[in-house]
Structure 1
Amino acid sequence: MSPYDASPVQAPAPLVDGFGRKVSYLRLSVTDRCDLRCVYCMAEHMVFLPKAELLTLEELDRVATAFVGLGTRKLRITGGEPLVRKGVMDLIRSLGRHLASGALEEITLTTNGTRLAEFAGQLAEAGVKRINVSLDSLKPDLFKRLTRGGDVAKVLAGIEAAQAAGLRVKVNAVALAHDNAAEIPELIGWAHRSGLDITLIETMPMGEIEADRTDQYLSLETVRRELESFWTLTDLPLSTGGPARYVRVEETGGRLGFITPMSHNFCEACNRVRLTCTGTLHTCLGQEDATDLRAVLRAGASDAELVEVVRNGVLAKPKGHDFRIARAEGPSVSRHMSTTGG
């Protein structure tokens, strides 16, 4: 019997925020740790959280189950790098019971790909159908510099292993003005030739790091205009539950997404909330709102009490974020993306 053998909490009404938006998508961070140190994401010498501050696997399962009972249909496992968390496959396999019951539509994963060769088969067996892999460059030297020591060959081998296991893979690439801007068409072409979707993301001002994101910010409106100078981009009426807007590149036949938190926010239809690995519920990526679910869990709350706290937290969800990238302003939010959950 599963150690997390609990049924979803049955809620009388769906989870809705104060603006009438139905929340049906939970991003669940299982760790703040990562085996890479991407320059736009975290400091080179990060101080990671002590184990006691992280939710246990049982606590993560309990909160996720509460959200499923409140109408969550999509669950994304994030980090840090989720596959470095000891026992994470036990958690994913256990959460798969909600797939089997039909209460949950899908469990997905965002990963840097370094451990996919080891875990791809297990993910597929656990019911995961698709994953996102972060990959900002195919050039070994540039990839090594951007990740502070990473090996792009390991990530590419992980992607191949995921495809061989039957997983659908989408590549996520952060657009960086002085690093990979010129490589973006090549990256898109490679992805489409490899049978992969790809999404471009604007860099976001989260957490104090050494790099100056002001200089690295690249508007995807500018990128799109450049791509349209030699490719035909056809808008697609497609949503995968996240914030990306999609086009088809007619010349390659592949799909390309744009996530534009800076140049065009995506708040009006936001259906997402995030739970950090420490049990903090954030209902907006770009605001400092927070509800401490760890304290509720460890105070011995009943399922009904947990649901009530979740409802109140989501009810206070802000209308939207106000990300800014400007010199001397510092980050829009102080927490790192690796702590928040990607």
Structure 2
Amino acid sequence: MLIDNFGRTIDYVRVSVTDRCDLRCSYCIPKGFKGFEEPKNWLTFDEIERVVAAFARLGTHHFRLTGGEPLLRRNLPQLVQRLSDLPNVQDLSLTTNATQLARHAKALREAGLNRLNVSLDSLRKECVEQITGSDNLEQVLKGLSSAKEAGFNKIKINMVPLAGVNQSDIEQMVQFCIEHDFVLRLIEVMPMGVTGQSNQYVNLQGIIDDLQQKFALIESDVVLGNGPARYWQTDNGGFSLGLITPMSQHFCATCNRVRLSVDGTLYMCLGQDNSFSLRPLLRDQCSDQELEEAIRYAMTLKPEAHNFLEQPKKIMRIMSMTGG
């Protein structure tokens, strides 16, 4: 087991396969941004497999592929197959904006991908275009349909409410998820980079009261995946709503994850700069023991908590640079 200095078990790694994306969401990648990592610095599939295998040997069993947009990485189903075949990898999931999902859903499912999270912030075409910078709603909806046909169940829809932009669309999204048997998760925007810092987060604590009354939701202790969401459900359990509240009610005391960026940097916290680069070791053909020792050391760098509220301008790296 990997235990950090504050007694938290690290049993979840988010693995970025690219920092690039085909969208420019207003809370993520700035328009005109060109500071992406050079492909020569991306971890290869062999290197990613080595890192995931090392974490699995050390007791971490849950992994999520992220980006940027992970489906922009060529031959991603091949990587999914390789990782899903590793001993002790019990759960392999992926977060996507779904613009490319219709072409890849079947292959991903057949390769062993267990679960899907899809980022979708509105069902209004003009609002989606405002947030993402392009007209892609039809592509996303086709991707979701293809994923259901491929056999993915309880797909999670990740929605970031933005004040004055899509906050009024939440009820419509709830209805949509009830109709299609999706799990809806509302996420407070974090002040990462100039984009995250330019958006005022919507405090979700007030929103849940209205949703509870309108959709007869009751608080639940259900666990859906490995993330920090707190869930509410309809009384028959047919629909689940999750809230992820890093700003209004942070969950640092139970944080169980680290992030591996596309260039091999382990980031210990979204709201701090603590990190450790594995790429030099991998490129020097380190032994498995050396890699495991480096991972154990990196866990000692994990901070106790973020300080987004106290220092909202501190983290200037954008979300796609960190890795989902």
Asked whether the two chains share a fold, i.e. TM above 0.5, the reply is yes
- 1:113, 1:158 within 8 Å by CA — same for their partners in 2? yes
Q: 2:242 aligns with which of 245, 252, 257?
A: 257
**Residue 303 (structure 2) aligned to one of 301, 311, 318:** 318
Give 2:216's aligned residue. Answer: 232
Q: Which runs of 4+ in 1 moved over 6 A?
A: none
Q: Contact between 1:281 and 1:293, CA under 8 Å: does it hold in 2? A: yes
> Structure 1 CA distance, aligned partners of 2:191 and 2:65?
22
Residues 299 and 95 of structure 1, relative CA distance in 2, 3 Å threshold: same
The corresponding residue for 2:20 is 33
Query: Partner letter of residue 331 of structure 1?
Result: K
Shift of 1:251: 9.0
CA deviations on 1:127-168 (whole Å, 9 max, x unpaired) are 112100000000011101110013101100100100011012
Q: 1:274 aligns with which of 259, 267, 271?
A: 259
Q: Deviations over 1:28-75 (max 9, x none)?
A: 000000011101111011212211121112111111111111111111
For 2:196 and 2:147, the matched residues in 1 are separated by 33
Contact persistence 1:170–1:196 (CA under 8 A): yes
Distance in 2 separating the partners of 1:178 and 1:45: 24
For residues 211 and 336 of structure 1, the distance between their equivalents in structure 2, rounded to whole angstroms, comes to 10
Separation in 2, partners of 1:310, 1:332: 26
Distance 1:71 1:330 in 2: 34
The structure 2 residue matched to 1:205, chosen from 185, 188, 191, is 191
Q: Which residue of 2 is the match for residue 4 of structure 1?
A: none
1:162-181 correspondence to structure 2 within 5 Å: 162-168=147-153, 169-181=155-167
Q: 1:311 deviation in Å?
A: 0.3
Q: Distance in 2 between matches of 1:122 and 1:30?
A: 17
Tell whether the 8 Å contact from 1:110 to 1:132 is kept in structure 2 after alignment.
yes
What corresponds to 1:44 in structure 2? 31
Residue 210 (structure 1) shift: 8.8
Q: Is the 8 A contact 1:233 1:248 kept in 2?
A: yes
Q: Is residue 280 of structure 2 the alignment partner of residue 295 of structure 1? A: yes
Q: Distance in 2 between matches of 1:150 and 1:319?
A: 40
Identity, in percent, stands at 41
Match of 1:187 among 170, 173, 176: 173
Q: What is the one-letter code of the residue matched to 2:56?
A: V
Cα deviation code 1:182-218 (max 9, x no counterpart): 110111111111110110000111112397213xx21
**Map of 1:107 onto structure 2:** 92
Tell me which residue corresponds to 1:86.
Answer: 74
Contact kept in structure 1, 2:78 and 2:111, CA below 8 Å: no
Residues in 1 aligned to 2:237 and 2:47: alpha-carbon distance in whole angstroms? 45
1:340 matched to which residue of 2? Answer: 322
| Contact 1:31 1:79 survives alignment (8 Å) | yes
What amino acid maps onto 1:55 in structure 2? L
Q: 1:252 to 1:238 in 2, by over 3 A?
A: closer
Q: For the residues of structure 1 that align with 2:305 and 2:162, how far apart are their CA atoms? A: 24
What letter corresponds to residue 178 of structure 2 in structure 1?
A: H
Of the three residues 97, 120, 127, the one matched with 2:105 is: 120
SS at match of 1:34: coil
8 Å CA contact 1:198, 1:256 repeated in 2: yes
Unaligned runs of 5+ in 2: none
Q: Which runs of 5+ in 1 are unaligned?
A: 1-13
2:10 equivalent in structure 1: 23
Is contact 2:28-2:196 (8 Å) kept? no
For residue 133 of structure 2, give the secondary structure of its aligned residue in structure 1.
Answer: coil
Cα shift at 1:242: 0.5
Give the CA deviation at 1:250: 4.3
**Contact 2:212/2:218 (<8 A) preserved:** no
Of 268-277 and 201-210, deviating more is 201-210
Q: Secondary structure at the match of 1:120?
A: helix
Aligned residues: 321
SS of residue in 1 equivalent to 2:243: strand
Match of 1:209, SS state, is: helix
Cα separation, 2, equivalents of 1:165 and 1:210: 34
Matched, 1:136 2:118: no
1:76 aligns with 2:79: no
SS of equivalent residue, structure 2 residue 184: strand
Q: Does the 8 Å CA contact 2:83/2:89 hold for their aligned counterparts?
A: no
The answer as to whether partners of 1:208 and 1:330 remain within 8 angstroms in 2 is: no
Counterpart amino acid of 1:267? C
Q: Which amino acid aligns with 1:306?
A: L
- The answer (yes or no) to whether the contact 2:217–2:234 under 8 Å persists in 1 is yes
CA contact (8 A) 2:197 2:312 kept: no
How far apart in 2 are the matches of 1:249 and 1:150? 33
- Partner SS, residue 202 of structure 2: coil
- Tell me, in whole angstroms, the C-alpha distance in 2 between the residues paired with 1:173 and 1:184: 8
Report if the CA contact (8 A) 1:324-1:332 is conserved.
no
